[in-house]
Structure 1
Amino acid sequence: MRCVYLENLVRDARDPGTLGRFWAAALGLTELTDEPDGYEARLPFDDHFLDLCFQRVDDPSPAPNRLHLDLRGGEAQQEVVDRLLRLGAVRADIGQGDVPWTVLADPEGEAFCVMEDRPAYRHGGPLAGLPLDSADPERDAAFWAAVSGWVRVEGTPGVPSLRHPSGTGPLLELCREPAPKGAGKNRLHLDLRAEPSDPAGRVLALGATLVADPPLPWTIYADPSGNEFCVLDARS
């Protein structure tokens, strides 16, 4: 299994349209679809893209989320925070204490961060990072590099980080989990796109666990730390 990009970030939402339009405005995305049960918008780069997809789930999992969004604030951090508050975000306290980033929550209560200036975030666009909880960050960095085609880069010291091989886009940051994954799916997950040449089952050989193979054009897996992700069928 090799994909040259992570194709989608998929978020469970009670109101996909309202939440999707918030994030489209927050990140400057290009709207793709706006339907009652789903909203999609695109974050383009020179030679790849990342789609943010919001799917209707009437009762999203109450389990602690293990993947969240870090937005680039940089030298304009306070201006970015102020703009997000005007768009409908609210300040959030998740026990972060005295930190140089600002924690906000989106209109459905999901926490995200607006980051201070860091060299590793200066080429990622408005979406700086995708911190993912991991029981073994080095192991999981190797797993995600193998399945996604993303490459190891310098990020936050002590946090294994991957980025698209073009050197653009957000970092996928493997962060030491505060607790093992419990029951309940992640409300935000990653989608990978299979290539036609990929042999069936290779993702399992790399360390994934099969979660479900529904009669749909994707298969649901979990990474070695239990985080769900989907592999979309190859395009014909």
Structure 2
Amino acid sequence: MGGVTLRPVQVNIKASSDAALGRFWAGALGWVVDDSEPGVTSVVPADASWPVPDTLTIDLVPVPDLEAVRTRLHLELATTSGDHHSELLARVQGLGATVVGTTDDGCRTVLADPEGGAFCVLAPQDHDRTGPIAALVVECADPQVLAAFWSDALGWVVAESGERVLLRASTGAGPCLELVGSSHLPATLASHAHVDLLPDPVDAKPAEVARLLELGAANADVGQGDVPWAVMADPEGNEFCVLGRP
């Protein structure tokens, strides 16, 4: 794993209105909107330079038909106390989110953002050094097999293993990648997100794409055309991108 140069740097969320959904996520996370790049609205911590260490920023990208976008990845937000949990739930609802329900174990509140996209707010617990985004949750048929792919792809370590598998960066900082075999989202609730990976250095993109193909990923064609990033799918078909030099 010493040669691994990839790390997750942002979550790409498709939107009907990237500006409006960007304002929602900025308010939810306490971050700011950056709309300086045409065709995308970014949400980033204030005064931060991208890529932000140990943090996933958010890119909102407009699409003409949001109903056609369905993924198996959603965000889960951290809370650290009862007061923080209550405040965050009130804040996101004030921004336009809707509570869909609570999981049977009481560990998470399931919500829909103003455009119907799924996310969760976790019950208060020790989200050690995750930041406000506690986890990226991916629903899959076989968490153990998919964890092996992502562990090799990112050089991350298995922090928990069982019915779900939790992967973390070896630094122990930043959001986790959680692979679950059974969904805690209702079937009517859609996800519109995928993760973007950045090689270091960025010119290592061709080598990293080749390495991912050897690990079991596949190239994907979503009509992206000639772009500086590579669109790929993991062994279960979950879309992700490997970024290149603009």
TM-score, reference length from structure 1: 0.83
Which of 122, 128, 143 lines up with 2:128 in the alignment?
A: 122
Root-mean-square deviation over aligned CA pairs: 2.8
Which of 77, 80, 85 lines up with 1:77 in the alignment?
A: 85
**1:54 CA drift (Å):** 0.5
Q: In 2, Cα distance between the equivalents of 1:165 and 1:105?
A: 32
* Cα distance per residue 1:50-103 (max 9 Å; x no partner): 22000010102446541111111232312211121112212224x845734222
Q: In 2, Cα distance between the equivalents of 1:220 and 1:186?
A: 18
Unaligned runs of 5+ in 1: 179-184
SS of 1:88's equivalent in the other structure is: coil
- Taking the TM superposition and a 5 Å limit, the aligned residue runs for 1:132-143 are 132-143=138-149
2:111 equivalent to 1:104: yes
Please name the residue that 1:87 is paired with: 95
Q: In 1, Cα distance between the equivalents of 2:55 and 2:74?
A: 18
Which of 1, 4, 29 lines up with 1:2 in the alignment?
A: 4
- Taking the TM superposition and a 5 Å limit, the aligned residue runs for 1:205-220 are 205-212=214-221, 214-220=225-231
SS of 1:40's equivalent in the other structure is: strand
C-alpha contact (below 8 Å) 1:17/1:34 kept by paired residues: no
2:174 equivalent to 1:166: no
Say if 1:177 and 1:201 are closer, same or farther in 2 by CA, change over 3 A.
farther
TM-score, reference length from structure 2: 0.80
Mean CA deviation greater in 127-136 or 196-205: 196-205
Mean CA deviation greater in 102-111 or 192-201: 192-201
Q: In 2, Cα distance between the equivalents of 1:205 and 1:98?
A: 38
Q: In 1, Cα distance between the equivalents of 2:66 and 2:100?
A: 19
Say if 1:230 and 1:47 are closer, same or farther in 2 by CA, change over 3 A.
closer
2:60 equivalent to 1:54: yes
SS of 2:66's equivalent in the other structure is: coil
Which of 173, 198, 216 lines up with 1:193 in the alignment?
A: 198
Q: In 2, Cα distance between the equivalents of 1:100 and 1:168?
A: 21
Mean CA deviation greater in 29-38 or 128-137: 29-38
Say if 1:4 and 1:197 are closer, same or farther in 2 by CA, change over 3 A.
closer
Please name the residue that 2:243 is paired with: 232
SS of 1:5's equivalent in the other structure is: strand
C-alpha contact (below 8 Å) 2:130/2:176 kept by paired residues: yes
C-alpha contact (below 8 Å) 1:11/1:188 kept by paired residues: yes
Please name the residue that 1:26 is paired with: 28
Amino acid at match of 2:241: C
Amino acid at match of 1:67: L
Q: In 1, Cα distance between the equivalents of 2:125 and 2:55?
A: 23
Say if 1:3 and 1:134 are closer, same or farther in 2 by CA, change over 3 A.
farther
**1:10 CA drift (Å):** 0.2
Amino acid at match of 2:219: L
Please name the residue that 1:203 is paired with: 212
Q: In 1, Cα distance between the equivalents of 2:12 and 2:119?
A: 15
Q: How many residues align?
A: 226
Amino acid at match of 2:128: R
**1:151 CA drift (Å):** 2.6
Unaligned runs of 5+ in 2: 184-189
C-alpha contact (below 8 Å) 2:106/2:123 kept by paired residues: no
Say if 1:149 and 1:29 are closer, same or farther in 2 by CA, change over 3 A.
farther
